[in-house]
Amino acid sequence: MALRLVADFDLGKDVLPWLRAQRAASEASEAGSGGADVLENDYESLRVLNVERNGNIIYTYKDDKGNVIFGLYDCQTRQNELLYTFEKDLQVFSCSVNSERTLLAASLVQSTKEGKRNELQPGSKCLTLLVEIHPVNNVKVLKAVDSYIWVQFLYPHVESHPLPENHLLLISEEKYIEQLRIHVAQEDGNRVFEVPLDVSLSNSGFKLVNFGCDYHQDREKLSKHLTLCVFTNRTGSLCVCYSPKCASWEQITYSVFYIHKGHSKTFTTSLENVGSHVTKGITFLNLDYYVAVYLPGHFFHLLNVQHPDLICHSLFLTGNNEMIDMLPHCPLQSLSGSLVLDCCSGKLYRALLSQSSLLQLLQNTRLDCEKMAALHCALYCGQGTRFLEGQIIQWISENVSACHSFDLIQEFIIASSYWSVYSETSNMDKLLPHSSVLTWNTEIPGITLVTEDIALPFMKVLNFKGYWEKLNSNLEYVKYAKPHFHYNNIVVRREWHNLISEEKTGKRRSTAYVRTILDNAIKVISNLEARNLGPRLTPLLQEEDSHQRLLMGLMVSELKDHFLRHLQGVEKKKIEQMVLDYISKLLDLICHILETSWRKHNLHSCILHFNSRGSAAEFAVFHIMTRILEATKSLFLPLPPGFHTLHTILGVHCLPLHNLLHCIDSGVLLLTETAVVRLMKDLDNTEKNEKLKFSIILRLPPLIGQKICRLWDHPMSSNIISRNHVTRLLQNYKKQPRNSMIDKSSFSVEFLPLNYFIEILTDIESSNQALYPFEGHDNVDAEFVEEAALKHTTMLLGL
């Protein structure tokens, strides 16, 4: 199932045996009888009432005399402790203990048994008490009103630095909250309480419900009305989940108000199994980055609350699905920290998303929307773990064309790189893209969605700290982030093209600037190699590839500037490391995808030579490399140095000549100096190979082409060298009147047009006006040109 419930606490196992042992010891000392029946009664009344922020659990039960007993289970020591006993038959529906376990707040109502007199103040149904449980049992009445009051102590962020005073919240069903500051002082050897401070919210337009674990309210009555839950998480999100009374069992509607995003979404889902009557209401569970919404036996939804804009980032499962049917059908209550309470059994679970189930869904579902959602959910669960990434990459390498609505490789690279640095700062979701998909117009089967803007809350707080600081940051971003702050490679693309153009024309800017860019690339590769301890199977990162290094270095520079602009207060050194980690992760994922395919098809280093024919395995790797190139090209992401060389070698192995040249001309294959040098050295001069070499040389940039021609001892190569030499000599040549007659005795061949042309070249070379030596070829002159022309003509004529 998509959601795993891992038991953290069980009343029957963690508390009941201890209570039985305590009672057995008491009964033995009193030599009483009927202990078994009493224990059974204790078990029936045993209830969990609250889970404090530190994880400690408060429970209550009634003994055989009707006394209400409070106990605490310490989640760290796994020990139980009795806190306090009320010697009255009262019903407790809310309680909380401070972090020092010296104060207990409890809200109680009178038991409804007939014949019992009203022990509370006349006209009141709820009594809220503050009890000093250590060292003296002083009791103070905080409220005696005709409405329910929930209580909760506020715990400090750092337990080692306790607050100088205790803070207690009183939450009323009449739409107000009071905060009591409780000072503990010494007076005649005893402790007293002082100075309450009320913070009234009576005019606000919301009502807090589901606070604590309440067993007193009529569950059946509540199930017939709306369900409303308020969820927060550490990233500063605030969601209000609302489900109205169900008017029809054919469709279920619920709304989620993303307060931190400034909009709401109303979801309507059709129920497939209408024949079975829905007896339970919708359950909302807080899973930190997600909110789970499910109706047992009918549907299970995972809503991405951090990135709710695109519906494809949320998962919607409906119908008879084993991922739905395995969830418990009993009422569950969501608590803080992804904790879930089973109110019937008294079990406390930690709700976790199941990586294995999400990977299974990713592999088996046919819908692109579910693949997208499952991929993001799985990466959220794994948060950059190598094993999970390996499983996803293994599937991608076998199903690279499985998605039609988005590029699977592209989405995986962007999302996984995002999660690799997500935890470094809370604002990373605003600065880095988490997805390559910008719009999604495809409908989700069985789901109708309506999105509406909502008013942003007004925050009037002097000093924002912790959660409130993050929430305020989210609200400020919604107000003013037009356009978005997400990084993109537009500037890098423009600057990279400028540098390449400068390289071709030989008019590059200062070498210091270029050296700084290339130094950035060296840092990225060093960082990448430090993260990868094992040897690499593929021949990547082993050559210069200055173009990819320039792209890498430019991305470092631009992304660092982007972070420095928007991450105020973060050290520059930390920002630099985040940038290196992010770009290193991008490159590492590309290497990982390629190595997975390489290992799967059992390729060896012999494919690096051109003297072998391509196999089906090589073609499969060539295909995955082409898809990687497509994914990175549209986003303008760097590739590991050596990628283009390997891609070209595989292309020469696997493709017919006309397909190979088409791939080169269309930019699918990028010729590198390393690949072409190897091609010239490995292949002999058969007719087929000559045609290949000549076609390649013609497509090389001039500077590289001049170097490569030196390596090919062939008339065709000499012809190209001669053409380049003549072009340079004649580019500024102006025809002059010539009175001299050609001396035939000086030429070995009587071919007047060629003789005349060679005389002109010789004349230019011997003049003082312009001598253009061919770089690296001092022996290239008019005589070399004549010889090359004759050889080429002889070859063409077949003589």
Compare 299 and 728 and report the one with higher pLDDT. Answer: 299
Q: Do 750 and 683 fall within a single domain?
A: no
Please state the length of the chain. Answer: 799
Q: 121-125, 475-479, 568-572, 663-667: which has the minimum mean pLDDT? A: 121-125
Q: Do 346 and 276 fall within a single domain?
A: yes
Exposed, middle or buried, 127 (CB in 10 Å: 0-12/13-18/19+)? buried
| Domain housing 78 | 46-192
Q: Do 184 and 243 fall within a single domain?
A: no
Highest mean pLDDT among 271-285, 618-632, 708-722: 618-632
Query: Number of structural domains, the chain?
Result: 4
What the block records as the tokens of 702 is 């001039």
Q: Are 228 and 242 contacting, i.e. CB atoms less than 8 angstroms apart?
A: yes
Cα(430)–Cα(261) distance, rounded to whole angstroms?
12
Q: Do 507 and 635 fall within a single domain?
A: yes
Element holding 142 (H helix, E strand): strand 139-145
Exposed, middle or buried, 316 (CB in 10 Å: 0-12/13-18/19+)? buried
Cα(35)–Cα(752) distance, rounded to whole angstroms?
128
Q: Are 152 and 169 contacting, i.e. CB atoms less than 8 angstroms apart?
A: yes
Continuous H helices in 331-367: 355-364
Whole-structure pTM value: 0.80
Tokens 């607050």 belong to residue: 163
**Is pLDDT at 389 greater than 60 in this prediction?**
yes
**Is pLDDT at 216 greater than 50 in this prediction?**
no
Return the percentage of the chain with pLDDT > 70, whole number.
Answer: 73
Q: Do 277 and 377 fall within a single domain?
A: yes
Cα(344)–Cα(330) distance, rounded to whole angstroms?
7
Per-residue confidence (pLDDT) for residue 408, from 0 to 100: 95
Q: Are 369 and 336 contacting, i.e. CB atoms less than 8 angstroms apart?
A: no
Nearest residue to 537 (alpha-carbon basis) of 590, 605, 586, 585: 605
Has residue 668 been placed in a domain?
A: yes
CB under 8 Å to 618, separation ≥6 — which residues?
A: 601, 603, 607, 650, 653, 654
Nearest residue to 305 (alpha-carbon basis) of 250, 260, 345, 347: 260
Per-residue confidence (pLDDT) for residue 248, from 0 to 100: 67
Compare 505 and 106 and report the one with higher pLDDT. Answer: 106
**Is pLDDT at 458 greater than 60 in this prediction?**
yes
Per-residue confidence (pLDDT) for residue 191, from 0 to 100: 35
Nearest residue to 621 (alpha-carbon basis) of 408, 400, 411, 405: 400
Has residue 92 been placed in a domain?
A: yes
Has residue 522 been placed in a domain?
A: yes
Has residue 4 been placed in a domain?
A: no
Q: Do 148 and 297 fall within a single domain?
A: no
CB under 8 Å to 211, separation ≥6 — which residues?
A: 94, 150, 152, 171
Q: Do 384 and 449 fall within a single domain?
A: yes
Highest mean pLDDT among 191-205, 403-417, 476-490, 692-706: 403-417
Average pLDDT of span 209-218 = 45
Average pLDDT of span 13-35 = 76
Q: Are 245 and 226 contacting, i.e. CB atoms less than 8 angstroms apart?
A: yes
Has residue 308 been placed in a domain?
A: yes
Has residue 580 been placed in a domain?
A: yes
Q: Do 494 and 615 fall within a single domain?
A: yes
Q: Are 567 and 492 contacting, i.e. CB atoms less than 8 angstroms apart?
A: no
The per-residue pLDDT for range 237-270, each reduced to its tens digit, is 988 888 877 666 778 889 999 999 989 999 998 8
Q: 192: which strand partners?
A: 185
Per-residue confidence (pLDDT) for residue 274, from 0 to 100: 57
Q: Do 703 and 791 fall within a single domain?
A: no
Q: Do 542 and 652 fall within a single domain?
A: yes
Per-residue confidence (pLDDT) for residue 799, from 0 to 100: 54
**Is pLDDT at 770 greater than 80 in this prediction?**
no
Has residue 340 been placed in a domain?
A: yes
What the block records as the tokens of 286 is 């807080």
- Residue 530's pLDDT band (cuts 50, 70, 90): confident
Q: 106: which strand partners?
A: 95, 129
For the chain, the average pLDDT equals 79
**Is pLDDT at 417 greater than 60 in this prediction?**
yes
Has residue 588 been placed in a domain?
A: yes
**Is pLDDT at 343 greater than 50 in this prediction?**
yes
- Residue 612's pLDDT band (cuts 50, 70, 90): low
Q: Radius of gyration over alpha carbons of the chain, in Å?
A: 38
The per-residue pLDDT for range 134-185, each reduced to its tens digit, is 777 788 888 888 888 889 888 876 554 555 678 888 888 777 788 888 876 5
Return the percentage of the chain with pLDDT > 90, whole number.
Answer: 27
CB under 8 Å to 92, separation ≥6 — which residues?
A: 49, 60, 68, 70, 106, 107, 108
CB under 8 Å to 457, separation ≥6 — which residues?
A: 259, 475
Per-residue confidence (pLDDT) for residue 726, from 0 to 100: 65
Q: Do 322 and 435 fall within a single domain?
A: yes
Element holding 257 (H helix, E strand): strand 251-258
Q: Do 512 and 633 fall within a single domain?
A: yes
**Is pLDDT at 299 greater than 50 in this prediction?**
yes
